[in-house]
A and B are shown apart, each in its own frame.
Chain A
Amino acid sequence: MTRFVIRRVLWMLLVLLVVSFITFTLMHLVPGGPWSREKALAPAVVAALNARYGLDKPFFVQYANFLLGILHGNLGISYTYQDRSVTQILMQGFPKTAILGTTAFVFAMIVGISLGMAAALRQNTWIDYVCVMFSTIFASVPGFVLGILLMIVFSVVLHWFPTGGWGSPSQIVMPAIALAALPAAFIARITRASTLETMRQDYVRTARSKGLLERVVLIRHILRNSLIPVVTVAGPQFAALVTGSVIVETIFSIPGIGRLFVQAVFARDYGLIMGTVLFYSFVISVANLVVDILYGVIDPRIRYD
């Protein structure tokens, strides 16, 4: 197992390097730069800005400087938010996005697994149809529509929740629901399919015929085994949720990093783009690694060399 983890970590470093190089190249190929504005800045000012941020150096020198910075633990400086480093910006925003993402993940897992299992255990009854209907609806309504709808109903009309921002638990509820809807639907469907398959297995029939209580059969045999495919998707889902959603964060004004990356690309903030991309790649790689390790824990049949 240790050798497996070490191999994966080495691959991860390689992936990060390649990702950083591709992003760096694409970033500089795209037309426009951090200083392009409709009201053009004076050429002397642009020259001074380029000198200040090292943008007047050759391409590979800039990339090398960036890598050197990474080795020293410095993700670079932002060109738009000039009073903070990229690390500071990410550290300020990431906890909020992570908390929101984790809350949404928990919602999605609870609702998704419950709906999925209920549907499977009561297949072809009204419970099944209702659960499938809900999961289809949640999978079809886009995040921004759901977000605005929640805001109008629960804030503007009912005044139950504030419309956005961050700081109190009541401000997490609506964004978490909007964010959790699609993953919940997805998880529900997978849980349902997987539970149905597990229920048909021989060992379940054996367990029942042994005289075990239905509850014991459910928890000890069905639940754990039907969750394996759910774990497969849960890992990447968690990574996606934790790195944030542009749309939900924009609508609910969550000061996280979800919308930071998109804004940085539009602003051609090279420093912030590189730092954020690396950060995201790192988080996703680690999440995938954790999922793979969890497999070994959940399913003893899976072994890594």
Chain B
Amino acid sequence: MKRKTVVFSMLAIIIAAILVLAPACSSGTTTAAVPQILRVNLGSEPAQIDPNQASWAQEKSVVSQVFVGLLGFNQDLTLRADVATVIPTVANKGISADGLTITFKLRNNVTWSDGQKVTANDFVYSIKREFDPTLACAYASFYYDIVGGEAYNSATNATDAQLATLKDAVGVSAPDDTTLVVKLNNPQPTMLQCMALWPVYPVRADIIAKYGNNWTDPPNYIGDGPYLLTEWVHQDHLTFKPNPNYWGTKPKLAEIDFKEITDANAALAAYQNNELDIVGVPSGTEKTFLNDKTYDDQRNLFNDLTTFAFQFNVTKAPFDNVLVRQALSCAIDRDSYISNVVGGIGKPALSWIPPGMPGYNATIGSQYAFNVTKAKQLLAQAGYSDVSKLPQITFSYSNTAANTVRAQFLQGQMKDNLGINIILDPEESKTFTTNVNSGKFMWAYFGWGADYPDPDDWLPSLFGTGAGNNHTLYSNPAFDALSATALKEQDNTKRLADWDQAQKMVMDDAPIVTIFYRERFNLVKTTVKGLKTTGMDGGIIGDTFFNEVSISK
């Protein structure tokens, strides 16, 4: 009797403790004024929030709240002058006639969060720092058209004296506090778009000199943007509060919480438990949330500037034959992919550059619309009317759950439509990347997202001969020649026409099979007002316009 009592009473105490703790921990409701707090999920720990060194979407989300650059992007992806007074053009003498010199005029009321003025020297420091070889900033290569940039960035074994000389030779200068002059090697029209990106946001030389690597910890993380990073509990959350010395329109939110919930389903549970205001719909649950009426006014869908495709290695048979590539492209039912593989979210893609940005052309690639008869004809023309004569095809991909479904879809399409058996080759993520980057693949899953909304981010570095991101090993001298002229073409209409022609050239040769343009599918609480989503958003939707968001009842 007594032993039983001891054991049972221990169990009872434990259960009672849980029951007592539980209701006491559930959040009560407030009847006071609606707190202006936005809670979102960053998803993972940002590795590096130093603007010059940041490169991932999560890091961009953090930097966008605390810093403002010379230029920014509007919701329609046109440029906007932020710290600069106007966007430099040839007409307003901001860009020289030969296109080699860009002059920015800065506002004189721009301040840092500690009250000091932002001057052109801050931008000079930042741009030179972007090229610093000891920092090895990921986006430095985007600015190589600036005089002296590439030389400085490549000087990894130079002495301090040599580094100092190279740094001085970088073509940025500040004749006075409100004028910034940037000298280019070539007239690169998209340099303005690059100047709107975060790697050249201004940073404080004195703060960095004083705190070194710790300058990104609050309260040293001084920026000129609408918010201050007030707290960063590593791996857990980041908290932003309004910058009291902000020179622009004061933001409406009193606080933004970036939580770091890595599991997509846990994040969804948090949203349903009212701990988050915005959440991404986990892969695989899209249909549920598209059809559930209770979420009617919480759905948020918009096109991302991202296209997914299957890329061929055009040096490996049978993919060295353009007819085979074109045939396989015609044999894939993209509509079925959208509805069965990605839960109905996204649009089928026949061209490469996605809708919502300059360069999108719906007619390009239309010859690859789903047509099995045509596919078989093309194969026959290539000499493969009997598909068993084809060499064994292997499709490689990074072994996530979502990719497995995509690969199986492709395998099914090849088998059902053409009778071709392909072997699936799942690989661990970095191993896959390494293999693709060194050409050890036949056919692989592949995606590309815009760094900035212009065709020259989508074509030369992917399809130019020997280009850094050209893993299809596609080489077309006509395309190379056209790219070379288009990159420097100052007449925007002609430039876009050139890129259009270049895109058509590539898609006609089919080194890749484009499948779909991604859409971002999120749930947003009805209390969140003023959310503006754009194709240039970072890790969290609407994060480039959080200064316009407010919370209502």
Q: Given A148-B265, A173-B18, A255-B235, check contact A32 B434 (CB 8 Å).
A: yes
Question: Are the CB atoms of B433 and A38 closer together than 8 Å?
Answer: yes
**Does A202 reach chain B (CB closer than 8 Å)?**
no
Question: Are the CB atoms of B7 and A253 closer together than 8 Å?
Answer: no
A41's contact among B4, B25, B138, B435, by CB below 8 Å, is which?
Answer: B138
**Chain B: minimal CB distance from A102 (Å):** 16
Q: Return the chain B residue nearest A42 by Cβ.
A: B141
Q: Return the chain B residue nearest A267 by Cβ.
A: B430
Q: Given A48-B134, A159-B26, check contact A83 B213 (CB 8 Å).
A: yes
Q: How far is the CA of A164 from the CA of B261 in the complex (A)?
A: 8
B262's contact among A118, A121, A160, A250, by CB below 8 Å, is which?
Answer: A250
Question: Are the CB atoms of B234 and A84 closer together than 8 Å?
Answer: yes
Scoring A43, A81, A93, A260 by chain B CB atoms within 10 A of each residue's CB, the highest score goes to: A81
B257-276 residues with Cβ-Cβ distance < 8 A to A are: 259-263, 265-266, 269-270, 272-275
Question: Are the CB atoms of A255 and B136 closer together than 8 Å?
Answer: no
Question: Are the CB atoms of B234 and A253 closer together than 8 Å?
Answer: no
Interface residues as binary, B263-298 with A (CB distance below 8 Å gives 1, 0 otherwise): 101100110111100000000000000000000000
B25's contact among A118, A161, A255, by CB below 8 Å, is which?
Answer: A161
Q: Return the chain A residue nearest B270 by Cβ.
A: A163
Question: Are the CB atoms of A161 and B22 closer together than 8 Å?
Answer: yes
What is the size category of the interface that chain B forms with chain A?
35 or more
Question: Are the CB atoms of A45 and B141 closer together than 8 Å?
Answer: yes
> Chain A residues with Cβ under 8 A from B140's Cβ?
42, 44-45
**Does A252 reach chain B (CB closer than 8 Å)?**
yes
**Does B133 reach chain A (CB closer than 8 Å)?**
yes
**Does B137 reach chain A (CB closer than 8 Å)?**
yes
Question: Are the CB atoms of B469 and A45 closer together than 8 Å?
Answer: no
Scoring B50, B134, B269 by chain A CB atoms within 10 A of each residue's CB, the highest score goes to: B269
Q: How far is the CA of A83 from the CA of B218 in the complex (A)?
A: 12
**Chain B: minimal CB distance from A121 (Å):** 6
**Chain B: minimal CB distance from A158 (Å):** 8
**Does B185 reach chain A (CB closer than 8 Å)?**
no
Question: Are the CB atoms of A44 and B141 closer together than 8 Å?
Answer: yes
Question: Are the CB atoms of B275 and A162 closer together than 8 Å?
Answer: yes
**Does A65 reach chain B (CB closer than 8 Å)?**
no
> Chain A residues with Cβ under 8 A from B144's Cβ?
42
Q: Given A82-B53, A155-B273, A250-B263, check contact A162 B25 (CB 8 Å).
A: yes
Question: Are the CB atoms of A215 and B3 closer together than 8 Å?
Answer: yes
Question: Are the CB atoms of A52 and B136 closer together than 8 Å?
Answer: yes
Question: Are the CB atoms of B22 and A255 closer together than 8 Å?
Answer: no
* 7 new A-B contacts at CB < 8 Å, known A36-B434, A82-B213: A82-B47, A82-B53, A161-B25, A167-B236, A250-B263, A251-B263, A253-B259
